Amino acid sequence: MAHTENQQHSGFSVFGLFSAIGSSIYSALARLAEARSRTDQIQFLQSLSDEELRKRGLSRDRIVQHVFAGSIW
């Protein structure tokens, strides 16, 4: 009777570690860029006059809600 043994390596992978770190850094930078873009948009809209906001269908107290509409927290 033959006896076979399968060994599976479920240990540490340097490539997997670097891949996970790289993916995490990329995700963080993407979130930072999106947050910066939203901040810039809020600042731009706040710099407009009430008349210019009205023409865009906005009021000053709804700027933040408008900029973040559709985003998921």
Judged against a pLDDT cut of 80, whether residue 50 lies above it is answered with yes
**Amino acid found at 59:** S
Cα–Cα–Cα angle for 14, 17, 21, rounded to 5 degrees: 140
pLDDT band, residue 12 (cuts 50/70/90): confident
Predicted model pTM? 0.62
